[in-house]
């Protein structure tokens, strides 16, 4: 059995696990059916811990998850679930200025009124994913345009791109998710606004975020988009190298842009330098000399490693294609170690350097990464 056949078996297993266990559990116990919205965590017994603050990004991510679940053929109540988080966002997170605050209590009271660019990006992504499967929701298209107008008016940076917040204003990561949202909207409506946004972010990535000498993407910058002084300016996250690779390859194909696609491969190779081959897992953080800073390996970078290898395999041939499938298979096999929990449908989040997992509740935020990974497996291995 070759690596492609083995990967197909893992893809089928993952799809069954998602539909039979994950999606039902996170709708049954991971949604708050009394107060609305989605829970932040489920304990390893499958029950939510009480009295946890709720982040805006989780509501947007879970709405996205259930919209994608519908496209993957889940027969559960995906339409209701997809709207559930977005409705909760609009009730409890929407500020008077049209942006979404970042944190509320379990009862919906404001805990942090800051509007993070990161959270606005996931709200846009949720809107696009729901509109894509429920095209009669024209209100979402109007809301998305209004939200992006607010972002552009309040956060656009004169040096290009957008500012995150006053405390940490210049970051690559929110732009990555804003690019993802732009691509999602481009898939469901023909408005040049989304193309222009994607072009702007990709140009910023190619000229500022990616270090031209080191061949990796940095995370934190000063107001001139120069690497920030101090440890943050020297940080590399292998998971983000893979995640940007996936997005740049998609946009490069749409634009027929060889430079963007070449950058995707550069970042893929940078991500590979963050693989601990003893555990066969992507670690959480490197310094810009590729020395490990944080040897823990969270779940989400493993999903991005699968996605990056798969998308690059699609246009590769011969030995290169085989190598991409080898890497995707290794990453998917590692990922399955995170899924082995006492309650089917949950996951571990942090793999330690000694090969053991931290015993803690499963974060809802991981499901966005998981379903993207499984969708990529299904697309690459129909």
pLDDT of residue 197: 98
**Residue-range definition of the domain harbouring residue 27:** 3-380
Residue 168 has a pLDDT of 78
Given the structure tokens 């893979």, which residue do they identify? 242
Q: Is 74 exposed, middle or buried (0-12, 13-18, 19+ CB in 10 A)?
A: buried
CATH of the domain at 358: 1.50.10.10
Residue 100's beta-bridge partner residues? 94
3-class state of residue 42 by DSSP: strand
What letter does residue 207 receive in the DSSP assignment?
A: I
Flag the least confident range among 155-159, 211-215, 282-286, 300-304.
155-159
pLDDT-based confidence at residue 166 (cuts at 50, 70, 90): confident
Predicted confidence at residue 3, as pLDDT, reads 83
Q: H-type helices in the chain, by residue range?
A: 3-17, 23-28, 56-71, 78-92, 117-133, 138-155, 173-188, 192-204, 238-255, 258-272, 299-313, 318-338, 366-380
Q: For the residues 27-39, what does the mean pLDDT come to? A: 98
User: Cα-Cα-Cα-Cα dihedral of 139, 144, 149, 151, to 10°?
Assistant: 140
CA torsion sign for 315, 173, 127, 72 is positive
User: CA 79, CA 67: separation in Å to the nearest integer?
Assistant: 7
Token output for 123: 């709200």
Question: Residue 327: is its pLDDT beyond 80?
Answer: yes
Instruction: Please tell me the distance from the alpha carbon of residue 87 to that of residue 30, in angstroms, as a whole number.
Output: 16
Residue 32 and residue 40: Cα distance in Å, rounded?
A: 10
Q: What pLDDT sits at residue 79?
A: 98
In the predicted model, what is the mean pLDDT of residues 265-290?
A: 98
User: Quick one: pLDDT band at residue 260, thresholds 50, 70, 90?
Assistant: very high
Edge-to-edge strand ranges of the sheet holding 54-55: 54-55, 103-104, 110-112
What would the two tokens of residue 288 be?
């810009």
- The burial class, CB within 10 Å (0-12 / 13-18 / 19+), for 276 is middle
For 47-100, write each residue's pLDDT tens digit: 999 999 999 999 999 999 999 999 999 999 999 999 999 999 999 999 999 999
Q: What is the mean pLDDT of the chain?
A: 97
Contact 39, 29 (CB under 8 A): yes
Report which of 69, 90, 180 is spatially closest to residue 140, judged by C-alpha positions: 90
Domain count, the chain: 1
DSSP letter, residue 46: S
Q: 166 burial class (0-12, 13-18, 19+ CB within 10 angstroms)?
A: exposed
Check residue 247 and give its pLDDT. Answer: 99
- pLDDT score of 2 more than 90: no
pLDDT tens-digit series, residues 12-29: 999 999 999 999 999 999
d(CA 17, CA 161): 39
**pLDDT class of 382 with cuts at 50, 70, 90:** confident
CA distance 86 to 139: 12
User: What sign results for the dihedral spanned by CA atoms 62, 63, 65, 70?
Assistant: positive
**How do residues 355-379 score in pLDDT, each as one tens digit?**
999 999 999 999 999 999 999 999 9
Is residue 340 classed exposed, middle or buried when 0-12, 13-18 and 19+ CB atoms within 10 A define those classes? exposed
* 121 close to 174: Cβ distance less than 8 angstroms: yes
Q: What is the pLDDT of residues 216-240, one digit of tens each?
A: 999 999 999 999 999 999 999 999 9
Q: Are 182 and 194 in contact (CB under 8 A)?
A: yes
């Amino acid at each position: 059995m070759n690596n492609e056949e083995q990967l197909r078996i893992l893809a089928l297993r993952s799809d069954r696990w998602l539909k039979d266990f994950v999606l039902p559990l996170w709708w049954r116990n991971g949604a708050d059916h009394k107060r609305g919205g989605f829970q932040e965590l489920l304990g390893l017994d499958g029950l939510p811990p009480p009295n946890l603050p709720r982040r805006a990004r989780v509501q947007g991510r879970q709405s996205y998850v259930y919209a994608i679940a519908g496209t993957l053929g889940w027969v559960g109540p995906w339409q209701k679930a997809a709207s559930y988080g977005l409705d909760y966002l609009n009730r409890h997170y929407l500020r008077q200025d049209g942006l979404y605050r970042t944190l509320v209590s379990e009862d919906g009271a404001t805990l942090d009124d800051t509007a993070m660019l990161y959270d606005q990006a996931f709200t846009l992504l949720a809107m696009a994913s729901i509109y894509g499967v429920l095209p009669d929701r024209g209100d979402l298209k109007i809301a998305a345009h209004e939200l992006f107008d607010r972002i552009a008016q309040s956060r656009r940076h004169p040096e290009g791109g957008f500012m995150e917040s006053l405390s940490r204003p210049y970051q690559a990561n929110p732009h990555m998710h804003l690019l993802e949202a732009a691509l999602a909207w481009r898939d469901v409506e023909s408005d040049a606004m989304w193309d222009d946004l994607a072009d702007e972010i990709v140009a910023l990535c190619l000229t500022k975020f990616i270090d031209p000498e080191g061949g990796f993407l940095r995370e934190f910058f000063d107001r001139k988009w120069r690497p920030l002084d101090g440890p943050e300016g020297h940080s590399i996250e292998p998971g983000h190298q893979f995640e940007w690779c996936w997005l740049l390859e998609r946009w490069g194909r749409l634009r027929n842009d060889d430079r963007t696609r070449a950058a995707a491969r550069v970042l893929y190779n940078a991500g590979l330098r963050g693989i601990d081959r003893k555990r066969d897992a992507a670690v959480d953080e490197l310094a810009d000399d590729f020395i490990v800073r944080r040897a823990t390996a969270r779940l989400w970078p493993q999903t991005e490693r699968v996605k990056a290898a798969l998308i690059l395999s699609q246009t590769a041939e011969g030995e290169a294609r085989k190598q991409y499938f080898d890497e995707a298979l290794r990453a998917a096999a590692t990922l399955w170690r995170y899924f082995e929990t006492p309650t089917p449908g949950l996951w571990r989040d942090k793999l330690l350097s000694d090969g053991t997992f931290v015993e803690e509740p499963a974060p809802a935020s991981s499901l966005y990464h998981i379903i993207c990974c499984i969708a990529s497996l299904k697309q690459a291995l129909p």
